[in-house]
Amino acid sequence: MQFSADLLIGWIGTYLWAFTRVGSMLMVMVAIGSRMTPIKIRLYYALAVTVVSMPMIPPMTHQIELFSITSAIVIIQQMLIGTAIGMLSIFVVQTFVIAGQVIAMQTSLGFASMADPMNGQSTPVVGQLYILFATLLFFGINGHLLMIQVIVRSFETLPISSAGLTALDYHKLAGWLSLIIKSALAFSITSTVAMLLVNLSFGIMTKVSPQLNIFSLGFSISMVFGLYVLWITLINVPLHFENQWLKSVALMCELLNGACGIR
């Protein structure tokens, strides 16, 4: 059996473009795309997913030369598509990071911070706690498998070509930034109101009995109440995560032209 050079170059191009879309998503996905996962592991994982998925990827309707300007544009488009889908999972987790920072500042726990290996910067311990819960919930509901399934199906609804996401799609993706802030504030509003009542009680005590050294007592009492409020609000993490995750999946399907509905 003989293979022509054009046929081999076509196969290489098909694998390369599919690998670019899948690999871009895995490079920024929650946990898998973090600094804790070595780059080689991510590359091997993306290559394995691409090779296994190739039989399910429909053939291209028109040939594109591998070494051409059009091929470079196609690679860029595939990178943008994969990165956009992977960023949605990051947005879901970052919602709880912001909520944890707000709760930490309100409960006098903001001074306790540690290095975040996922983001490479220092964040409050409360935010780290919510990152851990959100990541466990992400893998517990097989979110990584769903994202891989959606990205593979997207080759049918959004074929490999020089045309990728539209300007409206990027506008919807940018709109998630406001949704993150809104959802984080909605999650932390309970803790904020509770600590406001505690501080209001301290103000009344100071007014009634000025002899009390409220500055020395208030800090320790605020921390105790803050830990209690934090413990009470942990039960709401799965509910808020489910709401954010369903919204992100809906946007994934919308960006990929209904890839979730393929059977």
pLDDT band at residue 262 using 50, 70 and 90 as cut-offs: low
In which domain, by residue range, is 210 found?
5-261
128-148 mean pLDDT: 88
- Map residue 115 onto helix, strand or coil: strand
pLDDT band at residue 32 using 50, 70 and 90 as cut-offs: confident
* Phi, psi angle pair for 214, to nearest 5°: -70, -25
Of 85 and 221, the structure prediction assigns the larger pLDDT to: 85
| Distance of alpha carbon 99 from alpha carbon 151, whole angstroms | 29
150, 260 contact by CB (below 8 A): yes
pLDDT digits 0-9 by tens, 104-115: 877 767 666 655
Looking at the 3D structure of the chain, how many domains does it have? 1
pTM of the model: 0.81
68, 156 contact by CB (below 8 A): no
1, 86 contact by CB (below 8 A): no
Residue 130 has pLDDT above 60, yes or no: yes
113-142 mean pLDDT: 76
Computed over every residue of the chain, the mean pLDDT equals 80
Residue 1 has pLDDT above 60, yes or no: no
Of 244 and 220, the structure prediction assigns the larger pLDDT to: 244
Q: What is the pLDDT of residue 6?
A: 59
Q: What is the pLDDT of residue 138?
A: 92
- Map residue 116 onto helix, strand or coil: strand
162, 65 contact by CB (below 8 A): no
- Map residue 122 onto helix, strand or coil: strand
Token pair for 66: 């591998």
* DSSP assigned state of 58: P
Residue 117 has pLDDT above 70, yes or no: no
Angle at the Cα of 85 from the Cα atoms of 79 and 88, rounded to 5 degrees: 135
pLDDT digits 0-9 by tens, 81-95: 999 998 999 999 888
Q: Which of 75, 16, 53, 41 is nearest to 145 (CA)?
A: 53
pLDDT band at residue 61 using 50, 70 and 90 as cut-offs: low
Residue 97, C-beta contacts closer than 8 angstroms, at least 6 positions apart:
123, 127, 130, 131
Quickly tell me which residue has 């996401």 as its tokens. 165
192-203 mean pLDDT: 80
Residue 2 has pLDDT above 60, yes or no: no
| Distance of alpha carbon 42 from alpha carbon 177, whole angstroms | 27
Beta strands in the chain (DSSP E): 113-116, 121-124
